[in-house]
Structure 1
C-alpha cells in the first residue's frame, strides 16, 4: 500500500508539473491582439484644448493599454485646418501603426490621409469624416439622430409652437449634419415652430453672443436657439440671460462650464455623443486596420488589394443631457474615478 501510494504521489506530481508547464507556455504565448514593443497609435484633433476630446482619448488609451500598445495625443490649439494638417504630418513622421483623426474639414484631409495609408499607416476618422479619402473606418454618433433628438426636446419644451434660430459652423461635416437634421425635424414634425434666423458663429462665443442679441432684437418672440457645438452655447446663453427673454439654448457636446449652466437653468440642454465608446471602438478599429492579416473575410478584398477592415460607419451612440443627469458627465470627476492623468499620459 505504501509503495502504491508513493507511485500515485509521483504520478500526480508529474501531472501537476506538466500542467503547470503547459499553462506557463500558454501564458507566455503572445496573443494576436497584442502590440509589439513600442507600437504607437496617435489621436489627432484641432482645438486640442476642447474638453470634448479628453474622454475620447481616455478610452482610446484604455483600449491601447489593454493590448500593450503606446498612444499619443496630438493636435493644434487653433481652429485652423492647415495647422491641424501640419500636426498630422508631424505625427505621421514618427511612423505610427495608426492615426485616429478628427478632420476639421473633409476635403483638405483627403491628401494627408491618403499619403498616410500609402505609407502603410492605418487611418480611422472620428466625430467628423473625410469620406473621399482612403481611411478604413469612421466612428461617430449619428448626427442626423442627434439633430432630431435636439429638435424633439426643444419642441416639447416650447409646447409645439413658436420661433427658433440656429447658429452654425459651416464646413465641418458633423456640425452641418446636426443643424440640417434639426431644421428638417422641425419642418417635418413641428410645422408651428418657425425658423426665423440663422448665423455662422464658427465656435466663437463672442460671435454667438452678438448673433443672439441681434436675432432677439429682430424677433422679440424668439423662443429657442440651437447650435451644433458647446463653445457657441457659452455666448448664446449669456445673450439669452441679458435679454431676460425665455430663450431656450440647446447645444451639442458638454464641458464643465456647460454642465454648470445646464444645472443652473442657463442652458436648456445638450446632445452629447458617447465619447468613451467613440475612443474605445475607434482604437479597436484602428488596430485591426493596422493588422489586416487578422481578418480573412469571404469577399474579394485580396483580389481588389483592399484592407479587409473597411467599415463605412460605426455609431457610438449619444445621450440627451439635462439638469437631471448632468452630474454624470463631469470630466474631472470621471478622471478622478479612473485614477489617470488624461491627455498627459
Structure 2
C-alpha cells in the first residue's frame, strides 16, 4: 500500500525547468492522503528509457521511502511522483510518502524534510534539489539513510551525503530535436529557440540544438534564444511576435514544459504550422502532438528517473552501493505514433489525483 503526503516548494530556478503552463492542479492541502499506486503505468514508455527492477533486492516490506520536492500539484512533478509511487509499490515498500509544499518554496521543503527526519524513513528521493537542502542531506547521511537526487545532474561534492543521481542529459535531447525538426522542414527556413528562463539546463538544450542544426542543416537559420516565460497567454503572444517578425519561420524548439502549448497556440493564431518540439509528456503537450499542432514532445524521463531513484535507494537499503554516482537517461523524441504509453502514465496520474 503506497501512501503519499503533499508539500512542495521552490524558487525561480525550478520554475524555469518546469512549465507553469499547468500549475493548474496545485490546490491540494498539506494533510496526508493515502493513495495506492497504479503499478508500472509507464509500461512501454518506461521500457524505452529504463528497465526498473522487477523484484526487490531484499525484503522491503518493513521499509519506508520518502519523496521530497516542491510544487506538488504541478503536472511535471506529478509525473515524477507517479514513477516514484509505482516503483515503490512494485518493490513492496511498506509505505511511500510524498512530502512537498504546493508552492515553489525550498525553505518549506527543508522544514518538511526535518519532519521526515524526526519521524523516520529508510530512504529519501529528492525530486530536484536546491543548495538550501545541503545541511538537511547531511543529516540524513549521518543517520545512514540513503539519499538519491532525481532529474538533476550533480557532482558528489555538490551535495555531500547524496549517493547517486538519476537524471537526463539536456544536450542530448537538444541535438535530437534539431535532427527531427531539420528533417521535417527539409533543411530550409528559419527556426526559433525559446526558453522559459535562462538557466544552465535550458541553455544547454538551446545551445546543443543550435550547434547540431548549424552542423547538419547549414541552410536553416536558427534565431537567438528568446525568453518565453511561464505565463501561457504572454508566452503565446511572444511566439506569435517571433513568427510575424520572421515570415519564413517553419520550426521551433522550446526548452520548458510549457513550450509545446506555447508554439501550438502560436501556430493556431498565425494560421500556419510551426513544427515545434518541447518537453514534457504532460497531457496538454501530448494532445498538441496528437492534434498535429506541434511536431513532437521531448519526453524528458521524469517518470523513469524516479523509478531509477527508488531502485538506487532500495539497493542501498539492501546493502548494495550504486555502481556509479551519475546515471543519465535518454530523452526520447515522441511523435504522434508513439503517444499511447505516455497517455497511460498521465491517465494514471489523473486517476490518483481524482482520489485526493
Aligned counterparts of 2:104 and 2:59: Cα–Cα separation in 1? 35
What is the number of equivalent residue pairs in this alignment? 297
The partner residue of 2:100 within 75, 89, 96 is 75
Aligned counterparts of 1:160 and 1:226: Cα–Cα separation in 2? 15
After TM superposition, give the deviation of residue 53 of structure 1 in Å.
3.6
Query: Structure 1 stretch 81-90 or stretch 70-79: which is displaced more?
Result: 81-90
User: 1:57-136 to 2 correspondence within 5 Å?
Assistant: 57-65=81-89, 66-103=91-128, 105=130, 107-131=131-155, 132-134=158-160, 135-136=162-163
Q: Could you list the per-position Cα deviations for residues 19-63 of structure 1 after superposition, in whole angstroms to 9, with x for gaps in the alignment?
A: xxxxxxxxxxxx9712363x3211123332233344443343333
Secondary structure of the 2:69 match is: strand
The match for 1:299 is none
TM-score between both structures, scaled by the size of structure 1: 0.74
Secondary structure of the 1:137 match is: strand
Secondary structure of the 2:93 match is: coil
Gapped runs of 5+ residues in structure 2? Answer: 1-55
Aligned counterparts of 2:317 and 2:348: Cα–Cα separation in 1? 29
The match for 1:188 is 215
The match for 1:329 is 342
Query: Structure 1 stretch 271-280 or stretch 84-93: which is displaced more?
Result: 84-93
Aligned counterparts of 1:89 and 1:199: Cα–Cα separation in 2? 39
Q: CA RMSD in A?
A: 3.1
Secondary structure of the 1:138 match is: strand
Q: Does 1:252 align with 2:279?
A: yes
Q: Does 1:319 align with 2:332?
A: yes
Structure possessing the higher radius of gyration over alpha carbons: 1
Gapped runs of 5+ residues in structure 1? Answer: 1-30, 296-307
Structure with bigger helix share is 1
Assess, with a 3 A threshold, how the Cα gap between structure 1 residues 147 and 332 changes in structure 2: closer, same or farther: closer
After TM superposition, give the deviation of residue 265 of structure 1 in Å.
1.1
Q: Does 1:230 align with 2:252?
A: no
Q: Which runs of 4 or more aligned residues in structure 1 lie more than 6 Å from their structure 2 counterparts after TM superposition? A: 342-345
User: 1:1-345 to 2 correspondence within 5 Å?
Assistant: 33-35=58-60, 37=62, 39-65=63-89, 66-103=91-128, 105=130, 107-131=131-155, 132-134=158-160, 135-170=162-197, 173-291=200-318, 294-295=319-320, 308-309=321-322, 311-331=324-344, 335=348, 341=352
Secondary structure of the 2:215 match is: helix
